[in-house]
Amino acid sequence: MCGIVGYVGKKDCTKVLLDSLQKLEYRGYDSAGVAVFENGDIRISKSKGRLAVLEEKLKKEGWINGSCGIGHTRWATHGEPSDVNSHPHGNARVTIVHNGIIENYQKIKKYLEKKGYVFESQTDTETVAKLLDYYYDGDPMETIRRVLGEIEGSYALGIMFKDFPNTIYAVRRDSPLIVGVGDDEAFIASDVPAILKFTRDYYLLDMDEIAVLKDGNAEIYDVHGIKLEKQLLTADWDMEAAEKGGYPHYMLKEISEQPEAIKTTIIPRINNGMPDLSECGITTQRLLNYQNIFVVACGTAMHAGLVGKYVIEQLARIPVTVDVASEFRYRNPILTDKDLVIVVSQSGETADTLEALRLSKRMGAETLAIVNVKGSSIAREADMVVYTHAGPEISVASTKAYMVQVAVFYLFAFELAYAKEAISEEECKRLTKSLMDIPDIINVVLQQSEQCKYIASKLINSSNLLYIGRGLDYALSMEGSLKLKEISYIHSESYAAGELKHGTISLVTDGMPVIAVATQRELFDKTVSNVKEVKARGATVIFVTHSYKTVESDVADYKIGLPTIDDILMPMPAVVPLQLIAYYTSVLKGNDVDKPRNLAKSVTVE
Ligand code: F6R
């Protein structure tokens, strides 16, 4: 949540900050602001609303001309979205931008109020700005160190002191921060896409290190002020990958990129036709040690874990428990050194998932992270990492990241099942080959885009709908339902089809849309019976099933036909129409598809 950036160099700093912030708007877009050194003073401009509002304001009220500054795009946590709560915060002497949450800000605020400080905003961030001012004694590093010793919580901070013109100081704890370096210029940013227009080279700032950016250079110090030699990393994403590439929305682009993302993720992990995750530290010996597997994640990543559970249990016969990270970390789970905890995260920074990982490590379990963003906190702290190579996912609603997370679960399940001799080498090779065929199958499903748009046009006036399915289709229904509700704002629930008659069916009224997913042949007839039950009560049914299945009018009003492949692999092609239906419903309702209200992409607060 929240994105921060900073720039020192020779370019028009305000322009660079706005360009960089635009790439971070997925982290929040309640307000935006910049602070830039202009003729030795720090000038601030900030406003509620999107970045475009700030840009207009700057054009109208006067561009800030300078070559060093910091910027922020906000997802509100403390205090409503407003001009006054927007970052940067501070006074003429110290100005900061912040991503994270300061847990003990109330205590510090009371203390500072007693010392005569007056607070303007409701933010936790203003407390840090004022605490820096309070301790400032002419030595920025010493001041920062004192403040870090007092604040608790998570933060990535960009700091400027008026007495040290054209210099940025940056620190982090738990919230992400990178330090980019180009020709005679340096950057700070919450995420790599923010700097890609200018450079691909960056350092990962570690906890409690202090970066100092000046004269177009970046130097990094440890907490004792000793200069560090850090490894320079190079992003393998390019600008094009982070741009819309001709699509009207990132979400549609990312849905279309799924076949390629699967290939890039799985092909390097297949050796002689067999899954091979050994480069990620997953060895047969390790696999044979596990008695229980836990999958812990949030939102869509958790839904990928639900597919993983079905597949692992079915093939490898090992019990798998799936938990929402915010529940897992507080439910005192029972873990031993014979357990594997798999954490799944696109961003690798989700606060609850990160804490669940730390808890699992403390309790002695082995940890495996399935993560998209290289060098993210979760990737760095897990015992083993399988990177999903989806490239940058910009749209807040996750699509391609889900797809590759599921693909990794398949590879993992095949390898585990083979290691445990639950499947033969021949079967393992056959399944792996079928997985490799999925990208082409998804390309076929993508051609049903118009049918999905047509179905979406039937949903836009509904205020409630249901998704139902059984087994793997139930896991899929949950993802379909989340996708639709988060971007179309239509209230939607997912239910195990057989569970409907235990209460929920009373919600079904004339014309209420029910999206039924039935891709599992063994469960098909049972799901059809449940669909007939809702149809008989007036529901409008959208049926997602195999192309070859004939669907009578007493079962479905609309059908989406899917290619026939192994039942176990059906979630990959079957999620695509659910993503497209959600996408078009949002488009047809005129919503901001890529930036749905109240949401942010990287949830770095619990
Ligand atoms: C929904 C969505 C969220 C994320 C969740 C976890 O479309 O994107 O539910 O899946 O916030 O985020 P990561 O995967 O970054 O941990």
pLDDT of amino acid 363: 97
Q: How far is the CA of 299 from the centre of ligand 1 (A)?
A: 5
Q: Residue 472: how many CB atoms within 10 A of its CB?
A: 24
Identify which of 549, 548, 547 has the alpha carbon closest to the alpha carbon of residue 561.
547
Question: For a pLDDT cut of 90, what percent of the chain falls above it?
Answer: 87
Q: Whose CA is nearest to atom 6 of ligand 1?
A: 298
3-class secondary structure, 514: strand
Q: Which tens digits make up the pLDDT trace of 423-441?
A: 999 999 999 999 999 999 9
- Confidence tier at 244 by pLDDT (50, 70, 90): confident
Decide if pLDDT at 1 tops 80. no
Q: Residue 248: how many CB atoms within 10 A of its CB?
A: 12
Cα separation of 391 and 90, whole Å?
A: 36
Spatial contact of 2 and 28, defined as CB atoms under 8 Å apart? yes
What is the DSSP-derived secondary structure letter of residue 156?
A: E
* Amino acid residing at 269: R
Beta strands in 162-287, from DSSP E residues, in sequence order:
167-173, 178-182, 185-189, 201-204, 210-214, 217-221, 233-234, 270-271, 274-275
Spatial contact of 66 and 10, defined as CB atoms under 8 Å apart? no
pLDDT of amino acid 563: 95
**pTM of the shown model:** 0.84
Q: How far is the CA of 592 from the centre of ligand 1 (A)?
A: 18
Please say if 2 is a catalytic residue: yes
Decide if pLDDT at 554 tops 80. no
CB-defined site of ligand 1, < 6 Å: 298-301, 345-347, 350, 353, 397-398, 482, 486, 602-603
Q: How far is the CA of 300 from the centre of ligand 1 (A)?
A: 5
Decide if pLDDT at 242 tops 80. no
Task: Report the pLDDT averaged over residues 449-468.
Answer: 96
400, 485, 559, 601: the active-site residue: 601
CA distances from 432 to 409, 410, 449 (A): 12, 8, 28
CA distances from 372 to 57, 383, 535 (A): 36, 16, 41
Out of 249, 251, 296, 300, mutate this one to test ligand 1's pocket (max ligand atoms within 8 Å of CB): namely 300
Q: Whose CA is nearest to atom 8 of ligand 1?
A: 398
Identify which of 396, 8, 18 has the alpha carbon closest to the alpha carbon of residue 218.
8
More confident residue, 341 or 500: 341
Decide if pLDDT at 602 tops 90. no
pLDDT of amino acid 600: 81
Which of 205-209, 297-301, 308-312, 366-370 is the least confident region?
A: 205-209
- Confidence tier at 598 by pLDDT (50, 70, 90): confident
Task: Report the pLDDT averaged over residues 525-547.
Answer: 94
Please say if 214 is a catalytic residue: no
Decide if pLDDT at 12 tops 80. yes
Tokens 């409503």 appear where?
80
Q: Which tens digits make up the pLDDT trace of 25-84?
A: 888 888 999 999 999 999 999 999 999 999 999 999 999 999 999 999 998 888 889 999
Q: Whose CA is nearest to atom 7 of ligand 1?
A: 397
pLDDT of amino acid 375: 85
Atom of ligand 1 minimally distant from the CA of 302 = 10
Contacts by 442-445 with C-beta closer than 8 Å and gap 24+?
442/258, 442/259, 442/262, 442/572, 442/573, 442/576, 443/259, 444/563, 444/573, 445/562, 445/563, 445/573, 445/576, 445/577
Cross-strand bridge partners of residue 227:
221
Decide if pLDDT at 240 tops 80. no
pLDDT of amino acid 151: 96
- Confidence tier at 237 by pLDDT (50, 70, 90): confident
Q: Which tens digits make up the pLDDT trace of 248-295?
A: 999 999 999 999 999 999 999 999 999 999 999 999 999 999 999 999
Cα separation of 473 and 470, whole Å?
A: 5
Question: For a pLDDT cut of 70, what percent of the chain falls above it?
Answer: 100
Pick left, alpha or beta for residue 333 (phi over 0 → left; psi -120 to 50 → alpha; otherwise beta).
beta
Residues in the chain: 606
Cα separation of 98 and 87, whole Å?
A: 8
Sign of CA dihedral 29, 488, 526, 521: negative
Q: Which tens digits make up the pLDDT trace of 90-134?
A: 998 999 999 998 989 999 999 999 999 999 999 999 999 999 999
Task: Report the pLDDT averaged over residues 535-545.
Answer: 94
pLDDT of amino acid 374: 84
CA distances from 499 to 366, 479, 491, 520, 543 (A): 35, 18, 19, 17, 18
pLDDT of amino acid 391: 87
Cα separation of 270 and 276, whole Å?
A: 5
Spatial contact of 568 and 423, defined as CB atoms under 8 Å apart? no
- Confidence tier at 197 by pLDDT (50, 70, 90): very high
- Confidence tier at 352 by pLDDT (50, 70, 90): very high
Cα separation of 178 and 322, whole Å?
A: 32
Task: Report the pLDDT averaged over residues 131-153.
Answer: 96
pLDDT of amino acid 78: 86
Rounded to 5 degrees, what are φ and ψ at 91?
Answer: -130, -170
